[in-house]
Amino acid sequence: MITDLGRLTEDWSKVESIVLYGAGTVSKICENLFSKIDIKIECVIDRDPEKQGKEWNGITIVSFESIKDRIHEYKIVVMAAHTAFNSISSILEKEGLKEFEDYCRVGQFISEWLWNEKGLNCVYHVDMTVTTRCTLNCRHCNMFIPYYKERRDYSFDELRSNIDLFFARIDYVAYFGLIGGEPMMNPSLVDVIEYLENKYSSQFGRISYASNGTIIPEDNLLEVMKKYGVHIVVSDYSDIIPYSEKILKIKDRFEAFGVDYDIKPTIEWCDFGFPERPVVRDNETLKVHLMACRPEWNGLNDGKFYYCNVSWSAEKSGRFLLDKTDYIVLKDIDPNDRIACHKISELSRGTSTFCRICGGCGIDNKQFVKTGVQL
């Protein structure tokens, strides 16, 4: 199996204290984890002057400049997603620091360091698809929903089975995502959240789900979200689709119930190409592409664990056939065999045969398109 694990240099094994970089959204997801593991955190770096001088999890937030002269003394764990990681990475590289030697992504730390030093099988981010139905039909949907031959909701029993299979084999996942399609179309959403929270809350950092903002959430969903601190990200496509009043209504509902939410305005998307114009790559460009698109979202669907949820969706749409190396059938792994279970963490930092023809979301994909354009 191709995996990113095993790339941290040997001296990471001696590490007793680290510096964290990034006190934004990703840091919230990781709070719970860093409270549990026995490692000293010297400080948290963040470039936002509003955060500097405040605390994250009881640890002081400082500017990079204030620690720059001593930064070479520490290993740095970057708590930032994709684009933010790339810009932090270039700041660190300018200081002569190298990824895997001096710093790493928090996902790498979770899956590699926690296994090597604490014997824990961990994954950074897994998404479970609760429905492939959607209220919209976006031409450049990165789950290829408009191109599905058949769409459906997953039943509570199917989703519960995925959850049980996963948590019997994985000690901790920082981010558990519930995605679609439009997740609110599945009437089991509340039950799934309750089940996760009641049975596995010590094994994950945060539940989050994504919505396109076309459905006004019911009271029982908002109550359960508030109760457990479930986060929602709403994509606002209202500059393309006329539904800005609904977005405002949803915002009011979140405010009224005290729900943790983000409403994200339209940004440029990258065209993944598939299925209309799959990307053609030779081995050299594939290598560059695999380095560029390391999205850190794995998939948990149909009783299997996938390196990339996008690849699962490509197959599910009925237009691509994955290879057996692209996923792990969870029931085939003995939950008491820790080394066998570690294969899941390895695949979480792996690759997929679908990457060869998928545009992906790395810096090598320059095919920018307008968000939310409907078919």
Using the minimum distance from each CB to ligand SF4, give the nearer residue, 17 or 285.
285
Eight-class DSSP state of 99: B
Among 26, 106, 134, 250, binds ligand SF4 (CB under 6 A): 134
**Strand bridging mode 304-306 / 298-301:** antiparallel
308 binds ligand SF4 (CB under 6 A): yes
Among 61, 76, 136, 184, contact with ligand SF4 (rule: CB under 6 A): 136
Cβ-based nearer residue to ligand SF4, 27 or 211: 211
Residues 353 to 372: which contact ligand SF4 by CB under 6 A? Answer: 354-355, 358, 360-361
Helices (H), 101-236: 106-108, 114-118, 156-167, 189-200, 219-228
Quick check: 352 binds ligand SF4 (CB under 6 A)? yes
**Angle formed by the axes of helices 219-228 and 189-200, to 10°?**
20
Taking CA atoms, 171 is separated from 67, 87, 203, in Å, by 34, 31, 6
Report, in Å, the least distance between residue 138 CB and ligand SF4: 3
Find the shortest distance in angstroms from Cβ 153 to ligand SF4: 14
Mapped onto helix, strand or coil, the DSSP state of residue 350 is coil
Q: Are 130 and 159 in contact (CB under 8 A)?
A: yes
CA distances from 363 to 117, 154, 199 (A): 33, 33, 39
Minimal distance, residue 308 CB to ligand SF4, in Å? 3
Q: How far is the CB of 295 from ligand SF4 (least distance, A)?
A: 5
Strand 17-21 relative to strand 75-78, pairing: parallel
> Is 183 a residue that touches ligand SF4 (CB under 6 A)?
no
Minimal distance in Å, beta carbon 244 to ligand SF4? Answer: 16
Per rule CB under 6 A, count of chain residues that contact ligand SF4: 23
Q: Which of 352, 345, 349, 310 is nearest to 327 (CA)?
A: 352
Please give the residue ranges that form the binding site for ligand SF4 (CB under 6 A). Answer: 134, 136-138, 141, 143, 145-146, 180-182, 212, 293, 295, 308, 310-311, 352, 354-355, 358, 360-361
